[in-house]
Amino acid sequence: MSSLLNVDRQHNTSWQLNVARDLSPYLDPLILDWLCRSPETLVRLTEMYGSPLNIVWPHTVAPNLQAMAAVTASFGVETRFYYGVKVNKSQALLRAAVLAGAGADVSSIQELRDALRAGCRGADLCATGPAKTRDFLQELILQDAQIVVDSPQELQEVIELARNWKRNSTRVRILLRLRPDASRSSRFGMPSDEIIKVLPAVASCKQVTLVGFHFHLNGYAPEPRVNAFFDTLPLFTYARSLGLAPNIIDIGGGLPVQYVESESYQRWFSSQSSNDYRTGLVPSSFYPYGGELNAARWLKQFLAGQDPQGKTVSSWLHSEGLTLCAEPGRSLVNQGAISIFRVCRVAPETDKYSVIFVEGSSFSACETWFNSEFLIDPLHLAPVNKGEQFASGKAWIAGHSCLDEDVITNRLVYFRRLPQPDDLLIFTNTAGYQMDLLENRFHRHPTPTRLTALLNTSHNLTFSIDK
């Protein structure tokens, strides 16, 4: 059991939080208040646990789920949400999702075991992924989990395992994953004609029951997902003609998150140029950090989407008696973590910008490894030195490994006060595929510590190791 950390020790130095000029992030009120009122606590935690340091905030999860559930409830739609466990490695955030009422979307036997440890019932597990191992499938069957079947070969393996392991009246619950026409080059799922070919085998197997169909699309616009929804409906008709009774349509994940205020983001984004990057190259793709839709508004547009005859998604769900399922990951842990890097040194590189070296690597802030950028300015925590003048300026941020590619941001961030050694840079909203997706022990550095922030009964924040 992790012990609470006493972080009330006083420092002689006062610290101040500085907000950058261009892409200032949205920040949860509790986190912002803590950073403004108790910056010395964060300094102390970083001294104790090193840099980079990740802090997760489980209190953010339930409101995110409630906002999504409120939208589907307003349409009268029966809905089930499964937390995409792969989004990060935090057990505290997984536990918060389960306590809030979400199931768990797992893609490995390790994620399955962590979900069970977090209190998730086996029946509330949904398993996705294109190449599930035999051991994983066997454990899913034993736990009575819902399995999204990705291929005819996987279906055959599930049927064989079900015949060996299901000897009572219960059946293995499966969904067949559709590869929509918009994703023909994807390695996930089966085209509709292939699903039609395998449905008779499902109908003839007494140990398996088809509960529905699943699809997932890359991208964050609701319109392609609406089209894929309507592409899936004929499969229900055919399956029912075989005596099957599917009643679930699962639209996967990919519900968007707003990291930055939309208007200021669009203004910056539309005016960016090669001069904003130390490489002289603007990346070809970005996550929509300041898009106009958050997860709740996205769901509202999706449910209001219409077929060519004007019938909406929500109306089809009602008339077909379907339950809508989704696997939000990033959107369920929106505002769920911050990542702190200590500045090692700052060096002028040209007369126009500097480079900031931080203690840590881009494996803990990984967008550049995907030829993109994390388009959120870090917060800057620096000592208060009264009367001293500070230079402003632009800088890119590099890790401290020996890899030339170890770059946290190629973008030239404008700082009102250029950071100095031992200052802290705080990247916000890093719980979604950011803080620990690629973390490792390169150079034998320890894996970054992950702390959990919780309010105790006296409404004071306490911190413990996230295990």
Contacts within 8 Å (CB) and 24+ apart, 438-447? 438/362, 438/363, 438/364, 438/366, 438/369, 439/363, 439/364, 440/363, 442/361, 442/363, 442/401, 443/401, 443/402, 445/361, 446/50
Tokens 């051991």 belong to residue: 135
CA angle 207, 210, 212 (to 5 degrees): 160
The Cα 145–Cα 141 span in angstroms is 6
120 is catalytic: no
Nearest residue to 229 (alpha-carbon basis) of 298, 178, 293: 178
Q: Any bridge partners for residue 81, and if so which?
A: 326
Pick the catalytic residue from 36, 205, 325, 402: 402
Distance of CA 365 to the CA centre of its chain: 14
**Residues 347 and 418 sit within 8 Å (Cβ to Cβ):** no
Angle (deg, nearest 10), helices 29-37 and 39-49: 90
Of 129, 37, 84, 108, the C-alpha closest to 431 is 84
State how far the Cα of 131 lies from the Cα of 361, in Å rounded to an integer.
31
Strands 53-56 and 337-348, how do they pair? antiparallel
Alpha carbon of 295 to those of 100, 102, 326: distances in Å?
A: 17, 15, 11
Please confirm whether the linkage preceding 52 is cis (ω < 30° from 0): yes
Please list the alpha-helical segments (H only) found in 6-80: 29-37, 39-49, 61-74
Sign for the pseudo-dihedral over CA of 254, 259, 263, 266? negative
Local structure of 291: helix, strand or coil: coil
Q: How many residues does the chain have?
A: 467
**Residues designated catalytic:** 402
